[in-house]
Structure 1
Amino acid sequence: MTILLRDDAASVATLTMNAPERLNALSDDMLAALHGALDDIAQDTTIHAVVLRGTGKAFCAGHDLKQMQAGRKTGDGGTAYFKDLFARCAAMMQRIQSIPQPVIAQVHGIATAAGCQLVASCDLAIADDETRFGVNGVNIGLFCSTPMVALTRNIHRKAAFEMLTTGRFISAREAQELGLINRSVHSDALSRETAEMAHSIASKLASAVKTGKQAFYAQAQMTTAEAYAYAGDVMVQNMLVADTNEGINAFLEKRNPDWT
């Protein structure tokens, strides 16, 4: 069975995690497949948006605990394996945000621990309104420290800390209110709503979206003054793009742009 499926249509790449018997856990193979696919998509100028989803009952249940436990069977008790595992996971999560194309998580069932981290790392997220989200490692004695990084960059700090320390699951509605997802929809509408968002993004000038995504994450780490100076330079470069000139002229002339 192929652990990660890719389907391209109308400038949108759909990546489907395909390990339903393990609730699409982020095993070594899954991490490698995701990172490899993201690297490929980053170089593919025909793709303007990405949808990430899972097969079976869940979006993603986090790390593969059986595999992690097997990693203990080394002379160092698993220290080197665990360090490498979390580094590889962090690199994959960051790759989501560094590729030019916006990535939309299409979430259903559960998104727990590193699976919740995966949702938080995606640029956008739409969830089935029955989905539950949690960073519940504390329930088995493992504080979700790496998922915490992405989670605290999405939702209020006190809400994140409560989830991390109690292991409490939140509903899709609460996830939307906290800012973890963009919106929740009925299961019958999940694929359609996600596709509509992806195709809306894919219809825009790809170079502008690429520039904007990179700037979005860069300015978030700056002071307000630094961010304005940086964003101003980005706007200048964007204005000098020939297709941007065409887009503005088309708007003023009330016609569709002829982008190259």
Structure 2
Amino acid sequence: MSNLLARDTDTHGITTLTLNQPERRNSLSMAMLDALSEALTDIAADDVTRVVVIAAAGTVFCAGHDLREIRDQLDSHEFQLALFNRCSEVMQQVVNLPKPVIARVAGVATAAGCQLVASCDLAVAADSARFATPGVNIGLFCSTPMVALSRNLSRKHAMEMLLTGEMISAVRAEQLGLVNRIVDESLLDETVHAMARTIAEKSGHTLKIGKGAFYKQLEMPLAEAYDYTAKVMAENLRADDAREGICAFLDKRKPEWKDR
């Protein structure tokens, strides 16, 4: 694993990916994006990981793109396009990963860092965490972060963050739907891992089906979404774990998942 990104998997099948460049505010440089992409590709194929936690070392979760790197490449449109495309690919990897992803947010998450939080399935933040899409303040509108943000927040709330560039508190982020829970920073790890363990105890096959269907139906008209999800549920019932889960519930025993 790249020294930019630490990776650890515990006995519950919870894999933590830690952005590990605090001296650069854990910015999403091309190298960091490559490291994240490689890790997510590996995790998608492994049989051990059941839940992913994305965390960060230091006092900043992620400050977005590396502005020094961007400044050094200001005259290279090719690099700029490659950088934003790469970032977009990584965010879609998070969404398309067949395993739930939880953002563990301590400190500041801005621009593409806020985009990363919004791209995760769940997010738990310390009460001191703050969020912003401040690109407008430096003449670079947060257009790609807007994609993830607008799929989490209402239109007017997303536009307020994008147009003002102002920092919002963890409390406000929870109110707007950007994060699920806020806790005292001393309880952050405990809360994140309790949530991850709860999810990790479910059938991995069922989680894969459900996560994929959730994002797919969001883009459909109502009738089409119901037609699609009815087929998903009927197909889900053919799985060994669905049969085991129903029988275990009726027999009042704990299910034994086969993840198939």
**Band the TM-score falls in, shorter-chain normalisation:** over 0.9
In structure 1, the residue matched to 2:219 is: 221
Distance (whole Å) between structure 2 residues aligned to residue 121 and residue 255 of structure 1 = 36
Distance (whole Å) between structure 2 residues aligned to residue 131 and residue 106 of structure 1 = 10
In structure 1, the residue matched to 2:3 is: 2
Where in structure 2 are the equivalents of 1:204-219 lying within 5 Å? 204-219=202-217
In structure 1, the residue matched to 2:127 is: 129
Distance (whole Å) between structure 1 residues aligned to residue 162 and residue 240 of structure 2 = 48
TM-score, scaled relative to structure 1 = 0.97
Distance (whole Å) between structure 2 residues aligned to residue 155 and residue 243 of structure 1 = 34
Give the AA of the match of 1:7: D
Distance (whole Å) between structure 1 residues aligned to residue 226 and residue 17 of structure 2 = 35
Distance (whole Å) between structure 2 residues aligned to residue 173 and residue 128 of structure 1 = 10
Where in structure 2 are the equivalents of 1:238-249 lying within 5 Å? 238-249=236-247
Q: SS state of the match for residue 51, structure 1?
A: strand
Q: SS state of the match for residue 60, structure 2?
A: coil
| Pairwise CA distance, 1:258 | 2.1
- Report the identity percentage: 52
| Pairwise CA distance, 1:259 | 2.1
Unaligned runs of 5+ in 1: none
Where in structure 2 are the equivalents of 1:1-260 lying within 5 Å? 2-9=3-10, 10-72=12-74, 77-260=75-258
Distance (whole Å) between structure 1 residues aligned to residue 121 and residue 255 of structure 2 = 26
Deviations 1:8-51 (A, max 9, x none): 01111000000000110001110000011000000012111000
| Pairwise CA distance, 1:251 | 0.3
| Pairwise CA distance, 1:70 | 0.8
**Paired residue total:** 256
Distance (whole Å) between structure 2 residues aligned to residue 258 and residue 231 of structure 1 = 25
| Pairwise CA distance, 1:141 | 1.1
| Pairwise CA distance, 1:248 | 0.5
Give the AA of the match of 2:88: A
Unaligned runs of 5+ in 2: none
TM-score, scaled relative to structure 2 = 0.97
**8 Å CA contact retained: 2:206, 2:241:** no
Distance (whole Å) between structure 1 residues aligned to residue 57 and residue 185 of structure 2 = 14
Runs of 4+ in 1 over 4 A off after TM superposition: none
Deviations 1:158-192 (A, max 9, x none): 11111111111110000000000001100011001
Q: SS state of the match for residue 35, structure 1?
A: helix
Distance (whole Å) between structure 2 residues aligned to residue 249 and residue 162 of structure 1 = 49
